[in-house]
Chains A and B, each alone.
Chain A
Amino acid sequence: MKNYLQLVWLVPVLPLIGFLINGLFRRQLSKSLVNIIGCGTVLASFVISILIFIDVKNGNTGVINYFDFIKVKDFRIPFAFQADQLSALWLLVVTGVGFLIHLYSTAYMHGEEGQHYARYFAYLNLFVFSMLVLILGANYVIMFIGWEGVGLCSYLLIGYWFKNNEYGNAAKKAFIMNRIGDFGFLLAIFWMILKLGTVSYSTPDHQGVLDLFSKLSTFDITGITLLLFLGATGKSAQIPLYTWLPDAMAGPTPVSALIHAATMVTAGIYMIARSNILYTLAPVTQTVIAVIGLATALLAASIALKQNDIKKVLAYSTVSQLGYMFLGLGVGAYTGAVFHVMTHAFFKALLFLGAGSVIHAMHHEQDIRNMGGLKKKLPITHITFLIGCIAIAGIPPFSGFFSKDEILAAAFANNPIFWVLGVIGAVMTAFYMFRLYASTFLGSFRGTEEQKHHLHESPFAITFPLIVLAILAAVAGFVGIPEVLMPNAHSLEHFLAPIFAESAKHAHAHHLDHTTEYGLMAASVGLAAIAIIYAIYRFSRKPDLAEPTGFGKVLADKWYVDEAYNAIVVRPLNWLGKFLNKWVERGLIDALVNGAGRSVQYLSRQVRLVQSGQVGSYILLMVLSILVFFVIQFFLKK
C-alpha cells in the first residue's frame, strides 16, 4: 500500500496556493473560478487528509522533516510536520468542516462584489492553511506560526466588512486579546528552550519536549503549562480573555462557523491535548484549567440566556462549550475533550450555518425577537437546526450527549462539585438553545411584511452542508460510546490511545461503578429534557420580548465584563498614554529634540557671521590659526 504520509505537505500547501491565486488575481477572476479554486483546494486537502487518516489508523505515524527553520549552533528548530492520531483527526475536522463551509459561503456571500468575494475566499483559504500548519507542525514554534496565522486570518475576516468602524474595532479587539494570550505561549516556548534546548514534541531519538519531561522540575512544568494555558485562554476564549469571541460575530456568518466555532478556537484544546503529559504532571495547572473552564462555561451560559442576537447566543454557547472542553482537559479526560471538540465542531458549525441560513432568508435580520414561525418557510434549515440544538443539549443518541457525558463523568470522578456545576451549565445550555430555537422557528412570524414576503428556503449550496453536518451531528457520537453502554465500543479512545498513553501511566485511574454512571447520565439528560420542555413551552407562544430587568439585565449586559475591562485596563492605559504623550513625549522628548535643533540653528546663525566673504578676515583667521598651531607645537606639546 502506498505511504500517504509523504503527501502530508500537500494538505496545507493546497489551500496556500488557493490563497495566492485568489488573493493575487482577485480583480481578474470570475466568481465561479474563485469558487472552484477556493473550494477545490480545500476539497483536495480533505481527500488527502482521509488518505492520511486511513494510513494513521493502520498504525503508520511519523514526523517528516523538511528543512531547518532556525539553526543556531547546536540548537535547531526543524520545519517538520507530524502526522499522528491527534493531528489526523484534527485534519479531518478542519478540512471536512472547512470544505462544507467553503461550499456554503459560495451561496451565502454571493451578493458580494467580485473583488471582495475573491478576497473573502483568499482569507478563508489562508485560514485553512494556517490552521493546518498549526495542527501539523511537529514542534511548538511551527505551531506558533500557525497560531499567529489563524489569529491574523481571524482578524482579517472579522473585519471583512472593514468599512464598518464597529466591525473593525471588533477585529482589533480579537487580535489584541489574542496577542495577550500569545505572549504567554511565547514565554512558554522560551522557557522550554531555556530548560530543554528543544521545542519539538517528540523526536525519534526521544529528545523532544514530551520525551524529556522527567528532566523538568515541578515548578518548570507548572510554569510552562500555565503559560501555555494562557495562550489557550486567548485563542480558545476562556476567562479572562473571552470577550473578543462574542464581538467576533461581526464577521460573515460562515466565518463565525468555521473560525469562531469549529476550528480556530479549538486550537487551545489541541495544544493542551498535544502536551497532555506535561499537564498530567502539573496538577496545579490542571485544577486551574478545570476551574477556569467550568467558570467560563457557567458564565457564558448565563449570559447566553438573555441574548437576543441569534449569533451572539451561539457565540456565548461556543464559549461555554469550550469551557466544557477545558473542564475535560482539567480533569484529565483528554479523549473526552478531543471528542467534544469533534462533535462540537459538527453541531456548532451546523448551528451557525443554520443561523446563517435564517439570517440570509431574513435579509440580514439577526434579532430573534423579530423572527418566529420560520418552521414552515425553512423546512430543511428547521430540521437541521433542531438536530443541532438537540445535539448540543446532550440528548441521546445525538453526538453531544456522548462527548459531554464523558467529560461530566470524568469531572464527577475528579470532584462531584465539578459535576454539579457542569450539569447546571448543561441545563442552561439546553434552556437557551431551545429558547433560541422556539423563538426563531416556532410561534408566529414577527418580522415585517416585506421580510415575510421574501422568506424562502436557501439554495442547495447552503442546505447541502447543513444536511451533511446534521447527519454528522446526529451520528458522530457513536465513535465514542461509553463503556457502560457497550463494552469496547469507544473506538475514538482506542484510536487516540497512543497519544495519551504516557499520561495514562501517570494519571490515577478512577473508575465509576456502572450504577453511578447510569445515575449521572439519567440525571443530566433528565434535567436537560426538563429545561428543553420548559423553554419550548415558554417561548413558542410568548417570546421574550420585554426588556430584561433586575438580574436578567445583568445577564443581558454580559455581567458588565466589558465595562469592567474598560475601567480596569483600557482607561488607565488611555490615561497613561495621554500622560506620556503630553508630558514625556511633548514636554521632554520633543523639547529636547526641538531644543537641539534650535540651538544648532542659533549657533550656526552666529557662526555664519564669520563667513563674511571678505578676504581680509579670512587671512586674519588663517594667521591666528597658524599662531595657535605654533603655540601648540612649540610650547604646549612636551
Chain B
Amino acid sequence: MSVTVFLFYFLSVLALGSAIMVVISRNPVYSVLWLISTFFAISGHYILMNAQFIGIVNLIVYAGAIMVLFLFVIMLMNLNAESEPKKNKWLKLAGVVSGGCLLLVMVAALKSAEVKGELVQVKEGEIGLIENLGKALFTDFVVPFEISSILFLSAMVGAVVIGKKGD
C-alpha cells in the first residue's frame, strides 16, 4: 500500500467519522469542532490531489472564518447539551434510514455510471496551483469574480438588516 493510498483511506475515514460525530454529538459546540475536523480532512484530500489553493482556502474560509462564526453564535446563545431539543426516536430512525437508502441507491446507480474506472490525478498536476487559478480567475472568470463581490456586499447588508434589533 503506497503512502498515497494510505493517506486517502486515512483522510476518508477521518472525514466520515468526524461527519458522523457532527450529527450525533448532543452538544452543538462539539458538533462544530467535529465539523472543523471534517473540513481538515477534506482539505487534506484537496492537497492530496495537489489542489493547493482550494485546500488552503477551505481551511481559511470554512474551518477558520465560518466555523468561528458558528461557534460565536452558539456561545452567544449559550446552547449546550441540556438545551438541545430532543427529537422523536422514530423520526430519527426514519431520517437515518432514508439517508442510508439514498446512499444505497446512489451507490447502486454508480454501477452504470459512464465515468466508472477513470483515474484521478493525485500528487501532481499544475492546475490546482495559485498561479494558474489566479490567472484563470482574473482573465476568463473576472466578471463572475467581481459579481461575487456584489453578492458579499448584499449578504453583509442583509445580515445587518436582519440582525438589527427592533424594526
Using a CB–CB cutoff of 8 Å, the interface residues on chain A facing chain B are: 616, 620, 623-624, 626-627, 630-631, 633-635
Contacts and interface: CB of A to CB of B under 8 A. Distances in A.
Interface in B87-114: 87, 91, 94-95, 98-99, 101-102, 105-106, 108-109, 112
B108 A635 contact: yes
Contacts of B94: 620
B113 to A, nearest CB: 10
Interface residues of B, number: 13
A630 B109 contact: yes
In this complex, the member of B87, B95, B105, B112 whose beta carbon has the largest number of chain A beta carbons within 10 angstroms is B105
19 contacts: A616-B95, A620-B91, A620-B94, A620-B95, A623-B98, A623-B99, A627-B98, A627-B101, A627-B102, A630-B102, A630-B105, A630-B109, A631-B105, A633-B109, A634-B105, A634-B108, A634-B109, A634-B112, A635-B108
A630 B106 contact: yes
Given A627-B105, A630-B106, A634-B105, A620 B112 contact: no
A630 B112 CA distance: 13
A620 B98 contact: yes
A635 B110 CA distance: 11
Interface string B74-97: 000000000000010001001100
Given A620-B91, A620-B94, A633-B109, 5 more contacts: A616-B95, A620-B98, A623-B99, A630-B102, A630-B105
Nearest to B102: A627
A616 B91 contact: yes
A634 B106 CA distance: 9
Nearest to B91: A616
Nearest to B110: A634
Contacts of B102: 623, 626-627, 630
A620 B87 CA distance: 14
Nearest to A623: B98
Nearest to B88: A616
Contacts of A627: 98, 101-102, 105
Nearest to B99: A623
Contacts of A620: 91, 94-95, 98
Contacts of B112: 634
Contacts of B109: 630, 633-635
Contacts of B108: 634-635
B3 to A, nearest CB: 36
Contacts of A631: 105
Contacts of A635: 108-109
Nearest to A614: B91
B16 to A, nearest CB: 19
Contacts of A630: 102, 105-106, 109
Nearest to A622: B98
B49 to A, nearest CB: 28
A633 B109 CA distance: 9
A620 B98 CA distance: 8
Contacts of A633: 109
Nearest to A617: B91
Nearest 5 A/B pairs, CB to CB? A634-B109, A630-B105, A623-B98, A627-B102, A627-B101
A634 B95 CA distance: 22
A58 to B, nearest CB: 99
A633 B113 CA distance: 13
B102 to A, nearest CB: 5
Nearest to B105: A630
A635 B111 CA distance: 11
Contacts of A623: 98-99, 102
B108 to A, nearest CB: 7
Instruction: Tell me which of B91, B98, B99, B109 has the highest count of chain A C-beta atoms within 10 A of its own C-beta.
Output: B98
Nearest to B112: A634
Contacts of A624: 98
A631 B108 CA distance: 10
Nearest to B109: A634
Contacts of A626: 102
Nearest to B94: A620
A627 B91 CA distance: 17
B122 to A, nearest CB: 29
A626 B94 CA distance: 15
A624 B101 CA distance: 9
A630 B104 CA distance: 11
A631 B109 CA distance: 9
A623 B87 CA distance: 18
Nearest to A630: B105
A633 to B, nearest CB: 8
B106 to A, nearest CB: 7
A479 B105 CA distance: 106
Contacts of B87: 616
Contacts of B95: 616, 620
A628 to B, nearest CB: 9
Interface string B102-141: 1001101100100000000000000000000000000000
B139 to A, nearest CB: 38
B36 to A, nearest CB: 25
A143 B69 CA distance: 93
A635 B104 CA distance: 12
A67 to B, nearest CB: 71
A492 B92 CA distance: 107
From A633, A634, A635, residue with most partner B Cβ within 10 Å: A634
